[in-house]
Structures are given as C-alpha cells and as structure tokens.
Structure 1
Amino acid sequence: MSITCCLPVVECVYCLACARWVWQRCLHSGGYDSETWGVASAEEFEPVPRLCRIILSVYEDDLENPQWAPPGGYGMEPRWVVQRRIYEDTHGHAPTYLLYVDHQHSDVVLAVRGMNMAKESDYAVLLDNKLGQRRFDGGYVHNGLLKAAEWVFDAECDVLKDLLERNPGYTLTFAGHSLGSGVVSMLALLAVHNRELLGGIDRKRIRCFAMAPARCMSLNLAVRYADVINAVILQDDFLPRTDIPLEDIFKSLFCPLCTAYHAFYVEDA
C-alpha cells in the first residue's frame, strides 16, 4: 500500500482521537464533578430566577417597552432602576450593566450582561489573560475580568455606598451571566476587600450569583469566598465545568477561522 493511500486513514484516526479528547475534556469529565454536591434548599435557590430576569433586562434598550421579556415580564419596576451603563459609557472597559434597587426583596443589585459577540471590547476583556498573570489575596484571578471589575467598582463605588446608606439592612448583590458572571465574581472580591468604601457593609450582606460562570479564579480563592459567590450551572453546561481556560477555547475556535480566511481570500487577492 502506498503512502498516499494511507494518508486518509491516518487523518481519520487523528480526527477521531482529537474528538475523543475534546469530549473527555469538555463534556465527559466535567459532567461528573458535581455528583457529590448537596441539593440546594428552596431558600438558597429563591433569588436565582429573580436575578436571572434582572440580568436579562440589561439586554433591553427600553424597560418600559421591552422586546425580549419572558412571559410575565421581568418582574421589575423600571422606576427602581438607578442607572444603566451601555458600551458608550464603559468605553469598552466592561460589558453593559445596570444598578437596580429591589425594594420588594431589600436588595441592591448590580447586574452585568453576558458576552456580546459583536463587540471587540468584550473579546479583549476575555483574552486579556495568561496563567499566573494576576495575583489577588494569595491566589490567582483572570486579569481581564479583574480589570473590568475594577473599572466598574471605581465608577459605581460612591453610588453603591449611597444606596446602601439610604436603604439600611439591604443586601448588596452582584449578578451576571457568562462573561458578566466573571466580572461580578471579581466585583464580589473587590467589595469584600473594600467594605470601608461601601460604608462598612458586613461581609454577610454581600452576595454574588454567577450564572454559567467562566473559571476565573484559583481553587483557594473559590473556597475562601464560597460564602459570598454562588455559581449557578445548568445541567451539563461544559464551559463552567471544563478545566480548559475559556480564553484558550475561544482562541482555538477563531484561530482556524482566521487561518482559513487568509488562506482562501488574502492569498488569492
């Protein structure tokens, strides 16, 4: 048999091996890491649907006339929205977000949207990282996400302090999805470390709900702040479970596309 005839067989074996590796790393292995976890109580889970709706509302242009609201609406009072920050306000330093005072549940909420696939600034935040680049409180965190959180914290610290002082006893909740979940996780770390800037709020009044979070901090930090940060993962969603850094996944997806583009279009031109 000639070498030429063997090439298709070798390519098939190679592709199957790569597919099996991806399956194990992204789906099979990660799907079993929560087998020994306890079941959340109804009280622990109660804020999740409400906060998911608040996060979804960040995607709306006009909360008075929502376009994407689920049945029953977002369950929000638009008059309780303190302020909204769009990309023109953040100048690409962070995803869009809003501040909302939920008087019904005695909660001051800062909600951050997920990644906008059409915004280069969101990719810049995600890809601004390398292993061991940024230390924080004896551990390591994602550099780009922490920088985004620092920008938001600096911009909203005085507003949050004022809201907490005008609403004594209210909790301070950071909620986000996907890329936003990484930003709010970093915000929770910053808030705990800078409680004096927030009027001396007790640690037990600071909460974070990260929906489908990226792995953005070392294990020692995740354990140390487990009383503050709650990770919410839907069934076998592989991105929060895989041990592959999220920025590496995106690079592996887009680099072949860039290579193909240059091969078929740039070189032909």
Structure 2
Amino acid sequence: MQMFDGGYVHHGLLKSAIWLLNEEGETLKRLWLENGSNYDMVFAGHSLGSGVAALLTVIVVNHRDRLGGVPRCKVRCYALAPARCMSLNLAVKYADVIYSVVLQDDFLPRTATPLEDIFKSIFCLPCFLFLVCLRDTFIPEGRKLRDPRRLYAPGRMYHIVERKCCRCGRFPPEVRTAIPVDGRFEHIVLSCNATSDHGIIWIEREAEKALLRMKESCSETVTTAPKVQKLERLRTFEKEHKDALERAVSLNVPHAVTPNEEAPEDQKPEEAPEIEDKSEDPADTKSKSTGGRASWDDVVGKLFKKESGHLLLKRDSNPPE
C-alpha cells in the first residue's frame, strides 16, 4: 500500500499499472492521434485486472500528456468484479471515470483482506470468508470510514441483482447504480454463490440479460419521449458525483475533498509517483527491483577472479589442473 494523489492505493497493482503504461503508452498515444483524437479511451479488466485498469485510469487522468492530451471526459474504465485497490476518498473522487460492475454476492469487492491472503487460502475459501465475515461484524462503521488505509472498490458501482432474499431460483436481473460512501459493499454475504458470482462468464451473461430487458422496456415506449432526457440524466450523474464528494467530507473521510477543492484538469497531483522511462537500462531496472541488493555479477566479482579463462576463488593461488 502506498500514498497516491492524496489517498492510498494497492502498491502491487499500482506498479503493474505503471509498467503497463510504460509498455503500451506510446502505442495508445499513436493510435489515438492517428484516428483524429475523437474516440473514447476505455480500459477494462476483471478481478485483479480490474484493479490494474482502475489505477491505470487514475494515472492517465493525471498524466494525460502521456497519451497525447486525451481529455478526462474521454477516459473510461469498466472494472468487472473489482478488487479493492484505492482508499475511499479516491474511489469517490474518480467515480466519474471508473465504473465498477458487481454481480449479486461477489466476495472480492466486499473483503478488505489483503489480496495475497485471499489467494493463499483459495483452496479453503469458504472457511476463510466465514472468518472474515465474523471479524467484520464487530468493526464499527465509523471506524472503517476513519481508517485512511482501508481500500475500497473503485468508482461508481453497478450492482446486478438476480436473486431475492428467501426466494429460490434466478429472477430477471436488475441493475442498481450509485456512488455509495458509507456502506460501500462492507459486508461479505455468506452465500453458495459468493465465488461463482465472481466468474466473468456469469457477469457477462447476467449483464447481457439486463441490457436486453432495458432495450425491451425502451422499445415499448418508442413513440413517446423518455421521461428523463439524456442531457438531464448526464446532469444527474454529475450531481450524484458532487453529492458523494460532499457526503464523504461530511463523514470525515480522511483526505476527502469537496468538488470546489478538486484539482483542475491540467494540474497533476503533487504526490503522483514518477513514471519510469522506458529507455532505462535493464540492469538498473533489475537492481531496483531487488530492493537495493547487490546483483549477481557484483557477488561473483567479489568472490572470484578470472585467470587463464578460469574462475578462481580469490583466496586460491593455484589454478586448477
């Protein structure tokens, strides 16, 4: 976990996002400029990949010059079954560009347990989820909100609901959307579908059903004007985002900012990590990745000396026969 843009993010996922931008940034920039700079730039991912995509979106929004100056309004991220990768203030702040899709009882967006612990216990996941649920039951909501290092699922939430309490079978899926601040998927649901709802196949299937239902409901009223015009709905989205930011401030969420305090689009955050240059020497990169430890070549140079094409220990004086 590390500080970024006034909040905390998952350290490993952030490193992966920076690496991905360094590898593919020039390609994305070239494609966007060659196609007239008119297309939206959309990032998407599932599970851990959704965390990488979300943090990549945050970096791109704050370093738009890396991709040819793409405006914030043209950057989007769709995080499917997202991992918790950023603190609450960042999750609310970037709700206008990051959209998270959660299917019913999916466990991953609901548990604040470190990801490495989750995947270590993958063979006994139901027992692990039960213990986590038992622990979280006794943690007060206010304490969770005041914890600046607690990570959350990013952005605006789209919750696909296909099962109802005390009912058997699946129902036509409904999609509920909001930018929650308190009660943001804080409790694990002990359900036999907690792991299957994490699968991308089920998410795709139920999302497609929900989309077809929406299209059918729209086709029934095609002769009449919609109750909520598109422009008015966009304004509603902006108001929801503004209300969520103000709600975070009213709940004393650490590092939360009001809409007026947000940095302008052309201003980069002061605490944004430096993005490594792609032209960096591979040897230097390897030595940095080892946390400052000596490289293998340095160790060999200290222990051995080369004479007549043979490696000799420095304490030996006679070459091998």
- Return the TM-score normalized by structure 1: 0.44
Larger radius of gyration: 2
- Return the TM-score normalized by structure 2: 0.37
